[in-house]
């Protein structure tokens, strides 16, 4: 049977590691041609080469998705190579400084908002222009369980992920008649380099993270990728504006 993404062209940001890498790999296995991007050029090229060695039709282009000119060029390059853009998983983001709100510097605040929210605006802006013209497409934005619940010591991260859900809903409503769907996924605690760095930063951090997950198990990047690729597939053609929790019920309490 054809894969979930057979015949599609997909763009994945933050693809050098973690959820982005898993998403790019799954898109490729499910039959898509995939453009990977990340600021980490060396790691991104290795991921794309590895996927090609497994039969994937993949390319890598380094880009800073907080830079509008870079995002516009990235989308244009994808269309130039494959002639279309059918799916986008906007996944790049950072955790930012850990600490209570009064200790958060304006510089750290702006850095997280730019990386996690402004970048999503820029990616959607240029992806939507291409998809609207074609009359088809699906976008998935990586938010977080912190997009719907407060997360102490991560004020900027929490605010950026809450804001992304609002941005996703607006884009979904604006495109209800264009053939383009826009959704968000809300991962819980997932075993990625980003979370590992947070857990290793202080004694007891990993225990606290695991205690926040029902059953104590961390998710895997591959489990989050499954949701992203499904939402971009034609099997989810009536799903738009959704905020899909992929968190083992962590935010149900």
pLDDT tens digits for range 224-241: 999 999 999 999 999 999
Domains and CATH numbers, the chain: 9-246 (3.40.50.720)
83: buried, middle or exposed (CB in 10 Å: 19+, 13-18, 0-12)? exposed
Per-residue pLDDT band at 103 (split at 50, 70, 90): very high
Structure tokens at 173: 């409503």
According to DSSP, residue 118 is labeled I
Q: What is the mean pLDDT of residues 52-57?
A: 97
- In this prediction the pTM is 0.94
CA 181 to chain centre: 15
pLDDT above 80: residue 22: yes
Cβ proximity of 135 and 12 under 8 Å: no
Cβ proximity of 157 and 151 under 8 Å: yes
State the Cα–Cα distance between residues 120 and 213, nearest whole angstrom.
Answer: 27
Alpha helices (runs of H) in the chain, residue ranges in sequence order? 18-29, 41-53, 68-82, 106-113, 119-134, 155-174, 193-200, 205-211, 221-232
Residue 184 has φ and ψ, to the nearest 5°, of: -130, 150
Cβ proximity of 9 and 86 under 8 Å: yes
Structure tokens at 151: 């997360």
Q: Which of 157, 164, 190, 221 is catalytic?
A: 157
User: So what's the pLDDT on residue 20?
Assistant: 97
Per-residue pLDDT reduced to its tens digit, 113-146? 999 999 999 999 999 999 999 999 999 999 999 9
Q: What angle do CA 125, 126, 129 make, to 5 degrees?
A: 90
Per-residue pLDDT reduced to its tens digit, 187-226? 998 988 877 777 777 777 778 777 778 888 888 999 999 9
Concerning whether 115 is annotated as a catalytic residue, the answer is: no
Strand pairing report for 180-187 and 57-60 = unpaired
Long-range contacts of 97-106 (CB under 8 A, 24+ apart): 97/156, 98/153, 98/154, 98/198, 98/201, 99/153, 100/152, 100/153, 100/155, 101/155, 104/155, 104/156
User: So what's the pLDDT on residue 228?
Assistant: 98
């Amino acid at each position: 049977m054809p894969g979930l993404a057979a015949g599609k062209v997909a763009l994945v940001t933050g693809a050098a590691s973690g959820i982005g890498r898993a998403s790019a790999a799954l898109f490729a296995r499910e039959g898509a041609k995939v453009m990977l991007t990340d600021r980490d050029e060396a790691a991104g090229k290795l991921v794309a080469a590895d996927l090609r060695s497994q039969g994937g039709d993949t390319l890598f282009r380094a880009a800073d998705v907080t830079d509008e000119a870079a995002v516009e060029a990235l989308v244009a390059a994808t269309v130039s190579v494959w002639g279309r853009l059918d799916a986008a998983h906007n996944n790049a983001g950072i955790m930012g400084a850990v600490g209570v709100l009064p200790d958060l510097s304006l510089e750290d605040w702006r850095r997280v908002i730019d990386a996690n929210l402004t970048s999503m605006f820029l990616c959607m802006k240029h992806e939507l222009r291409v998809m609207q013209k074609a009359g088809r497409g699906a976008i998935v934005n990586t938010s977080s369980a912190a997009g719907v619940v407060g997360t102490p010591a991560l004020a900027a991260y929490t605010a950026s992920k809450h804001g992304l859900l609002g941005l996703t809903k607006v884009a979904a409503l604006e495109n209800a008649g264009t053939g383009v769907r826009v959704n968000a996924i809300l991962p819980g605690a997932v075993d990625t380099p980003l979370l590992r760095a947070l857990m290793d930063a202080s004694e007891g951090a990993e225990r606290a993270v695991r205690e926040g997950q029902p059953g104590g198990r961390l998710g895997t990047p591959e489990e989050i990728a499954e949701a992203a690729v499904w939402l971009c597939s034609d099997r989810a053609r009536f799903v738009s504006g959704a905020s899909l929790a992929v968190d083992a019920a962590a935010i149900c309490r």
